[in-house]
Amino acid sequence: MQLSDSRVIAAPRSKVWDSLLSAEVLKECVPGCQEMTGSIEDGFEATVVQKVGPVKATFKGVVSLSDLVALESVKLSGEGKGGAAGFAKGAADVTLSDAPEGTLLTYEVDARVGGKLAQLGGRVIDGVARKMADQFFENFQNAVEPQDASQPETSDEGEAGDEKKGWFKRVLGG
Amino acid sequence: MPKDSGIGASSKRREDVRFLTGAGNYTDDINVHGQTYVHFLRSDIAHGRIKSLDTSTAEAMPGVVKVFTGKDFEGVGGMPCGWEVTDKHGAPMQEPPHPILAQGKVRHVGDPIAAVVADSLEQARDAAEAIDVDIEELPAVIDMKAAAQDGATLVHDDLKNNVCYDWQLGETDDAKVNEVFANAAHVTTLDLVNNRLVANPMEPRVAVGEYKRGTDEYTLFTTSQNPHVIRLLMCAFVLGLPEHKVRVVAPDVGGGFGTKIFHYAEEAFCTFAAKACNRPVKWTSSRSEAFMSDAHGRDHVSKIELALDADNNFIGLRTNTFANLGAYLSTFSSSVPTWLHGTLMAGNYKTPVIQVNVKAMFTNTVPVDAYRGAGRPEATYQLERVVDKAARELGVDPIALRRQNFITQFPYDTPVALTYDTGNYNGTMDKLEAAADLAGFAARRAQSETKGKLRGLGINCYIEACGIAPSNIVGMLGARAGLYDAATVRVNATGSISVMVGAHSHGQGHETAFPQVVADMIGIDESMIEIVHGDTSKIPFGMGTYGSRSLAVCGSAMVKATEKVIDKAKKIAAHLLEASEADIELKDGQFSVAGTDKSVAWGDVTLTAYVPHNYPLEVEPGLEETAFYDPANFTFPSGAYACEVEVDPETGKVSIEAFTAADDFGNIVNPMIVDGQVHGGIGQGIGQALLENCAYDENGQLLSASFMDYAMPRADDVPFYGVDHSSQTPCTHNPLGVKGCGEAGAIGSPPAVVNAVLDALNSGGKAVDHIDMPVSPSRVWAAMNG
């Protein structure tokens, strides 16, 4: 699936750019990110917990940055394997430009899922991908804008009650 | 008066006692001492090259007995295809290897890469997650027309393209066909899709393999419709085992619908692994696994053209179909879009010139094979949709147009290789018109209109070729098997009878219906007869159950064997009665001497056969006979169906208000079972027409792999059915005069439903020509709103 959107961030372009390249900021912004290690140059290894429809899984994968044009644009790519849950892949082309209120951040996301995620979560994947992208950039905005922004929500794990977990376990056969 | 026993009686299904009380013995109920469990690691991408496969971590995990990969199977054969189709240029079909576990490449989501055998299923699953496999993803071939293009990515690197075969039937001279169409007064053309389906029997597939070192014997318990076919294919083509050392048992099977005909990799795996691990190996498919490993059904994309003369006579028919075979050739997949499909394109009509063209394609999807009807629903759907469209274009009554073109003289040689032995299509249509009260339709439509609903009437006729099949004919057409069947009638000393049959019952009610036949022939109570099926160590070599063949083929073998038993019993009776054998008559279980009051009971004769003290010297003791029966022709059930729907013009929601089936099944043994078979078939057909769709995305991800997304019909999706099978033209070439009823409903109902929806829309002033199945509310609404 593909989606694109933009948002204005109340911060200068240089700060937005630096934040985009910051491992700490990325870790904070990737929804469901439990762990991230690595560097801009070598890419990051990440562990992300996500839920798509009835399938919740821990994805281990890599996040890499490419096509860097300083202060202008960067491509963020990620690929995660969730074992029996299948896989997810995505890339976001991010472009920065000046805006009266600060910096205009435009992004185009292309995301794919496979395996059980596609089989069971296919119906809801578009919505989930949109929500994840929105959440990422909202987290990013909160992290970058110099204000008393509330702590970004890193995952919606709290929504999954015992009953849902039980259902998920059954789907994956325990 | 309906009979209360024997042929024609609605005897209650005796097998239901165990099925309805939870006392069935299904394959998953079978647990063997010391058994292990296998979990298959399956590909989650549609097409890719395996760069590395490391099982070392998995092998070291708790409970793991052994981890298998494609390497372990390099010394054995692959899964065979049972039918070689020859293309229109005389070349054999392209037949790529179909390995048990992936060899270098994965070709569909669900393709097994490795298998973990462990002490428990949970341990096997955990270990499978620890297998490190690196797959280079390749472009997926999903769309059939794109797959046929030059330069398309190849599903199989060693084939010249993705076309398995380019096949033709009927008129081979294109110029002649073109001329018919050029001279036609009217040509109706239709492009349509026969949607891909998943059979979804209630019981998923299961296999348990067992090996006994002491005797070098194997046993495979499996969910199969044909245990002898599985044993032959597995022994001769896959594992290279001697048949006499292998026993295949298909116990109670919870529905097959065709998808349990085929020999699957998991069956061969469990048999092979049982020896390799020296422990029994059990596999139980999960529902998710079933969606991506059971052979799918249908999936045709067709263009059909019908030429009519100025008097509305059908003068020519041409079809061009792309048929999806999936990534590999399943056991009988090649026969479905060809000899089980093209041969039916004449339908009930005397169209003189017919040309059928089929391109069968390999794609990165689950293999496609026979599903209830197998090729015949696809043929009927095309034909009956185009006939219906022609009637609308010409402004003529769809029933009148059909009647005008019906075949009325039998036997009839079609232009597509079949000889219909008998039928009465006008008579069956008369039955339908009465049973469905078609005269009252206008009033019902007016009533629906007062509720703001559009009511439509859809008519459909079908013919099917069942009772497959004469072995010599199918052999000429490429079948790599004979299609006879066999039965052994074993009379016990006290007169009860065990009948060992090659057919397999998995919902058809053989255990009830078959005894009705034998009981009738001898004149004893049905309860004295038991049917034994599903175990190669007990039954004669039979070809199993599919294609509505059981009663017509195996039932005929049973009749022949029973006749042999009766002949021998008469010799014994003649001896006991001191009369000539020619004078002995058997009636109501009594052998009597014609014209006298001397008689001896069935039980006395059977006891004498086993305690032969006073016995004819030239007759062998015992009373047991076997017969094999190879049919002389296909059987040709036919019928006329009427479906009435209401369409809600606000939402596009279709509800089926009435469904009436008039079928000609020839003679009928158990009318209640036949009703049930028709009900079930129509239910599945309605599922295809309104609800079911197996969907892939452009990357080959299977999107509809659970009952959340794959909509099975539920009780409130189907109406109470009207079923009439009083139109009976008995089959002319089998001893029972029976034709087969198992698939009729699934063949006849989809076009009836779609025709009804289009009639409803057109009655409401919406000029809609066609909507592809499933006719979902969104599709109907979109069609209505341009």
Q: Which of residues 263-292 of B touch A (CB under 8 A)?
A: 286, 288, 291-292
pLDDT digit string, tens, across residues B530-567? 999 999 999 999 999 999 999 999 999 999 999 999 99
Check pLDDT > 50 for residue A102: yes
A174:B125 CB<8 A: yes
B701:A83 CB<8 A: no
A118:B701 CB<8 A: yes
Is B44 within 8 Å of chain A by CB?
Answer: yes
**B285: nearest CA in chain A?**
A173
Check pLDDT > 50 for residue B208: yes
| pLDDT, mean of residues A156-167 | 44
The C-alpha of A113 sits at a distance from chain B's nearest C-alpha, in angstroms, of: 8
A contacts of B45 (beta carbons < 8 Å): 87, 114-115
pLDDT at position B770 is 98
**A125: nearest CA in chain B?**
B703
Q: Is the dihedral of CA B471, B197, B364, A50 positive or negative?
A: negative
**Chain A interface test: which of B37, B44, B132, B699 (most A C-beta within 10 Å):** B44
A119:B706 CB<8 A: yes
Check pLDDT > 90 for residue B262: yes
C-alpha B469/C-alpha B473 separation (Å) is 8
pLDDT digit string, tens, across residues B11-32? 999 999 999 999 999 999 999 9
C-alpha B625/C-alpha B375 separation (Å) is 36
**Nearest CB partner across the interface for B288, out of A112, A119, A123:** A119
**Nearest CB partner across the interface for B701, out of A83, A114, A173:** A114
Check pLDDT > 50 for residue A167: no
Phi, psi angles (nearest 5°) of residue A87: -140, 160
Portion of chain A with pLDDT greater than 90, in percent:
21
B contacts of A87 (beta carbons < 8 Å): 44-45
A86:B44 CB<8 A: yes
Pairing type for strands B64-69 and B624-629 reads unpaired
pLDDT at position A25 is 87
The C-alpha of A135 sits at a distance from chain B's nearest C-alpha, in angstroms, of: 25
pLDDT digit string, tens, across residues B745-760? 999 999 999 999 999 9
Which residues, 6 or more positions from A127, have their beta carbon under 8 angstroms from its beta carbon? Answer: none
A83:B109 CB<8 A: no
Block residue for tokens 């058809």: B508
A contacts of B698 (beta carbons < 8 Å): none
Q: Which of residues 109-128 of B touch A (CB under 8 A)?
A: 109, 121-122, 125, 128
The CA radius of gyration of chain B, in Å to the nearest whole number, is 27
Check pLDDT > 70 for residue B132: yes
Check pLDDT > 60 for residue B102: yes
Is B229 within 8 Å of chain A by CB?
Answer: no
B701:A84 CB<8 A: no
Confidence grade of residue A172 (pLDDT, cut at 50, 70, 90):
low
* DSSP 8-state code for residue B27: G
A contacts of B699 (beta carbons < 8 Å): 112, 114
Block residue for tokens 């940055």: A65
| pLDDT, mean of residues A109-115 | 88
Alpha carbon separation from B204 to B94, B270, B293, B368, B505 (Å, rounded) = 31, 16, 10, 17, 16
pLDDT digit string, tens, across residues B623-650? 999 999 999 999 999 999 999 999 999 9
C-alpha B723/C-alpha B745 separation (Å) is 10
Check pLDDT > 50 for residue A161: no
The C-alpha of A115 sits at a distance from chain B's nearest C-alpha, in angstroms, of: 4
A174:B701 CB<8 A: no
**Nearest CB partner across the interface for A84, out of B129, B704, B705:** B129
Confidence grade of residue A148 (pLDDT, cut at 50, 70, 90):
low
Check pLDDT > 80 for residue A60: yes
Instruction: State the DSSP string of B687-749.
Output: IIIII----B-TT--B---STTTS----GGGS-PEEEE-------SSSTT-B---SSHHHHHH
Phi, psi angles (nearest 5°) of residue A105: -105, 120
pLDDT at position B271 is 98
pLDDT digit string, tens, across residues B285-343? 999 999 999 999 999 999 999 999 999 999 999 999 999 999 999 999 999 999 999 99
**Nearest CB partner across the interface for B703, out of A118, A171, A174:** A118
Least confident of A1-5, B114-118, B508-512, B719-723: A1-5
B286:A119 CB<8 A: no
Domains of chain B (ranges plus CATH)? 27-138+202-255+260-293 (3.90.1170.50), 300-469+633-784 (3.30.365.10), 484-629 (3.30.365.10)
**Nearest CB partner across the interface for B125, out of A87, A113, A173:** A173
Alpha carbon separation from B433 to A35, A84, B325, B381, B575 (Å, rounded) = 71, 55, 39, 21, 57
**Nearest CB partner across the interface for B288, out of A114, A116, A123:** A116
Check pLDDT > 90 for residue A41: no
pLDDT digit string, tens, across residues B54-64? 999 999 999 99
pLDDT digit string, tens, across residues B350-374? 999 999 999 999 999 999 999 999 9
Confidence grade of residue B655 (pLDDT, cut at 50, 70, 90):
very high
Least confident of A167-171, B1-5, B676-680: A167-171
A120:B706 CB<8 A: yes
B703:A122 CB<8 A: yes
C-alpha B733/C-alpha B469 separation (Å) is 12
Mean pLDDT of chain B, nearest integer: 97
Check pLDDT > 50 for residue A173: no
Which residues on chain A place their C-beta less than 8 Å from a C-beta of chain B?
A: 54, 83-84, 86-87, 112-116, 118-120, 122-123, 171, 173-174
Is B709 within 8 Å of chain A by CB?
Answer: yes
B291:A119 CB<8 A: yes
pLDDT at position B3 is 81
| pLDDT, mean of residues A106-135 | 85
Instruction: State the DSSP string of B457-487.
Output: EEEEEEE--BS---HHHHHHTTBSS---EEE
pLDDT at position B2 is 66
The C-alpha of B132 sits at a distance from chain A's nearest C-alpha, in angstroms, of: 10
Residue B423 zone, left/alpha/beta (φ > 0; ψ -120 to 50; rest): left
**Nearest CB partner across the interface for B703, out of A54, A119, A173:** A119
pLDDT digit string, tens, across residues B564-613? 999 999 999 999 999 999 999 999 999 999 999 999 999 999 999 999 99
Which position has the higher pLDDT, A67 or A132? A67
Check pLDDT > 70 for residue A154: no
pLDDT digit string, tens, across residues B143-198? 999 999 999 999 999 999 999 999 999 999 999 999 999 999 999 999 999 999 99
pLDDT at position B1 is 55
Is B52 within 8 Å of chain A by CB?
Answer: no
pLDDT at position A56 is 82
Say what angle helices B777-784 and B744-763 make with each other, to 10 degrees: 30
Q: Which CATH superfamily does the domain covering A2-145 fall into?
A: START domain (3.30.530.20)
The verdict on ipTM greater than 0.90 is no
pLDDT at position A168 is 47
The C-alpha of B283 sits at a distance from chain A's nearest C-alpha, in angstroms, of: 14
pLDDT digit string, tens, across residues B436-476? 999 999 999 999 999 999 999 999 999 999 999 899 999 99
A contacts of B697 (beta carbons < 8 Å): 118, 122
The C-alpha of A166 sits at a distance from chain B's nearest C-alpha, in angstroms, of: 16
